[in-house]
Amino acid sequence: MGRVLAVANQKGGVAKTTTVHSLGSALAELGQRVLLVDLDPQACLTFSAGLDPEKLPASLHDVLVRRTAITDVIESIRHNLDIAPATIDLAGSEVILLTRTGREHVLARALASVRDDYDTILIDCPPSLGVLTINGLSAADSVLIPLQCEALSHRGVGQLLETVADVRAFANDRLEVLGVIATMFDGRTRHGREILTSVGEHYSLRVIEPPVPKSVRFAESAGQGQSILSHSPSSPGADAYRAIAAQLDAEIRPGVARPTLEESSAAAP
């Protein structure tokens, strides 16, 4: 059965979508079968993966309102990498789910039918703590927190951890916080380094190394419907996500021989 990771932070603009897409692509390079789940009505992950949300015949919305099975909406992006895409209709799903019994478990029930088909399922949660994010956390085994190293993001981590505690108590007692990933990191500034250190210490969270450097390559790759691993495979940002993916891969598939960063970069399309 595959591991389900929710990528969450209610503060927008902290590279949740970039992290999901890049980590998913890097894990696929390592030979994992990966499913990306776009749980955000803005559908940025779907767009970044090269799909047009406005032209999709069905999306995750149809799954959440029990109109169709998740297997009917999954699209293949590249070898070993699939996506359950989103459309703006997901905003309506949130309203409908509020009227349903067991609303927080709808996504978990949908994913149950495909968990054996994937090694890792990555959920891109919306920038809020509403019912869609609660569904993502309730379906997940672990949560990853992308963190832009600045004071307001620091505050958002505390709020998210309170929500995680509530989900553990009422919906998903197996949920664990896997750690924090520093995104858009500028190591030249003392402020950024101090925030990263203080978050790990204050909340007793694992800081997953290395930090992901700030780069225009991420915006360029999203605009072309690619991950940074395809668009700029030898960039520092691509290398950072490959290094993080290698750690996550080792945790669920210990003993598997893995390519070096140079071999992964050379093999990327």
Question: What is the spatial distance between Cα 26 and Cα 82, in angstroms, rounded to a whole number?
Answer: 13
Show me where the domains of the chain are located.
Answer: 3-251
Torsional class of 146: left (φ above 0), alpha (ψ -120 to 50), beta (otherwise): beta
Question: What is the spatial distance between Cα 21 and Cα 77, in angstroms, rounded to a whole number?
Answer: 11
pTM to 2 decimals? Answer: 0.91
What pLDDT shows up at residue 85? 98
Q: Which runs of E-coded beta strand occur in the chain?
A: 3-7, 34-38, 75-78, 81-84, 120-124, 142-148, 176-183
The maximal CA–CA distance of the chain, rounded, in angstroms, is 51
Question: What is the spatial distance between Cα 121 and Cα 5, in angstroms, rounded to a whole number?
Answer: 6
Q: What are the structure tokens assigned to 205, written together?
A: 């969270």
**Pairing mode, strands 81-84 and 3-7:** unpaired
Burial class of 111 by CB neighbour count within 10 A (0 to 12, 13 to 18, 19+): buried
Q: Tell me the average confidence (pLDDT) per consecutive run of 10 residues in the chain, 269 residues long.
A: 92 90 97 97 95 95 94 96 96 88 93 96 93 96 88 74 93 94 81 77 88 88 88 93 95 60 51
Residue-by-residue DSSP string for 136-174: HHHH-SEEEEEEESSHHHHHHHHHHHHHHHHHHHHT-TT
Alpha carbon separation from 123 to 59, 191, 195, 217, 266 (Å, rounded): 14, 30, 26, 23, 28
What pLDDT shows up at residue 245? 97
For domain 3-251, give the CATH number. 3.40.50.300
Other beta carbons less than 10 A from residue 217's beta carbon: 16
Other beta carbons less than 10 A from residue 186's beta carbon: 14
What pLDDT shows up at residue 262? 52
